[in-house]
Amino acid sequence: QKEVEQDPGPLSVPEGAIVSLNCTYSNSAFQYFMWYRQYSRKGPELLMYTYSSGNKEDGRFTAQVDKSSKYISLFIRDSQPSDSATYLCAMRSTGGGNKLTFGTGTQLKVEL
Amino acid sequence: DADVTQTPRNRITKTGKRIMLECSQTKGHDRMYWYRQDPGLGLRLIYYSFDVKDINKGEISDGYSVSRQAQAKFSLSLESAIPNQTALYFCATSDLTGTDTQYFGPGTRLTVL
């Protein structure tokens, strides 16, 4: 079993929809949770960063962490065609160097 | 100019050849990383370096070696390439301040025939 599980999709939604992307994990030592966005033929770029449990909002994006369920989510409101990309969750524990464990990524397509 | 650059961007080579992938950064970060990305497997850490004199193996270091020539340069070598090393390779950097966010380069697409 992988430490981090993420549905690969693809997920196709109409423009303006609310998108929910999720990851589950098994390592209770994970404390830092990230979402990266990766456009085709590009490197991943950090979208959201959350420490421990709770919510964080940035514009149309909201990241949620539920450590009791070992479950993290990324919500995208009013989705746009420019949001079409692969979304990768990543997480790490305190200490042990800044070694990230990534999910496999969910491919999202927002259609006009 | 991009903060993290990788060369080459694409490379096709044959089994048994020695290959070097190069990474340079202008972000002034001490920490550098090499990952490979495969469909269905996500990003996996190959090697990482926290400063010029520090090199550490990651999750999948077998068949790879690295060299940290300077704070800004970190190279990945495949001594004798094999077909299952065909993948997308990414370099990343981070620093100790703030969130220690990793910043990725544009990637190198390597094909081993």
The answer on pLDDT for A94 being more than 90 is no
pLDDT band at A8 (very low <50, low <70, confident <90, very high): confident
pLDDT computed for residue A6 by the predictor: 94
Cβ neighbours of residue A110 under 8 Å, at least 6 residues apart? A12, A13, A14, A15, A17, A19, A79, A80, A81, A82, A83, A84
Which residues sit opposite A104 in a β-bridge? Answer: none
Task: Report pLDDT digits (tens) over B27-47.
Answer: 999 999 999 999 888 899 999
Distance of CA B86 to the CA centre of its chain: 14
CA neighbor of A34 nearest in space, from A68, A69, A63:
A63
- Residue among A4, A6, A98 whose CB faces B102 most closely: A98
Task: Report pLDDT digits (tens) over A72-90.
Answer: 999 999 999 999 999 999 9
pLDDT band at A9 (very low <50, low <70, confident <90, very high): confident
The answer on pLDDT for B80 being more than 70 is yes
Q: What percent of chain B has pLDDT above 90?
A: 86
Which residues sit opposite A73 in a β-bridge? Answer: A22, A64
Distance of CA B1 to the CA centre of its chain: 19
- Residue among B43, B94, B105 whose CB faces A102 most closely: B43
The DSSP result for B17-69, as a single string, is --EEEEEEE-S--SEEEEEEEETTTEEEEEEEEEETTEEEE-TT-TT-EEEEE
The answer on pLDDT for B67 being more than 90 is yes
pLDDT computed for residue A96 by the predictor: 63
Task: Report pLDDT digits (tens) over A12-21.
Answer: 999 999 999 9
Mean pLDDT for the stretch of residues B6-21:
97
The answer on pLDDT for B96 being more than 80 is no
Amino acid at A40: S
CA neighbor of B88 nearest in space, from B61, B57, B109:
B109
On whether any CB of chain A is under 8 Å from the CB of B58, the answer is yes
Residue B111 CB-half CA count within 13 A: 4
Task: Report pLDDT digits (tens) over A19-61.
Answer: 999 999 999 999 999 999 999 989 999 999 998 888 999 999 9
pLDDT band at B98 (very low <50, low <70, confident <90, very high): low
The answer on pLDDT for A95 being more than 80 is no
pLDDT computed for residue A99 by the predictor: 85
Tell me if A74 sits within 8 A of A35, measured CB to CB: yes
**A-chain residue closest to B96, CA distance:** A98
On whether any CB of chain A is under 8 Å from the CB of B64, the answer is no
pLDDT computed for residue B25 by the predictor: 97
DSSP letter assigned to residue B80: S
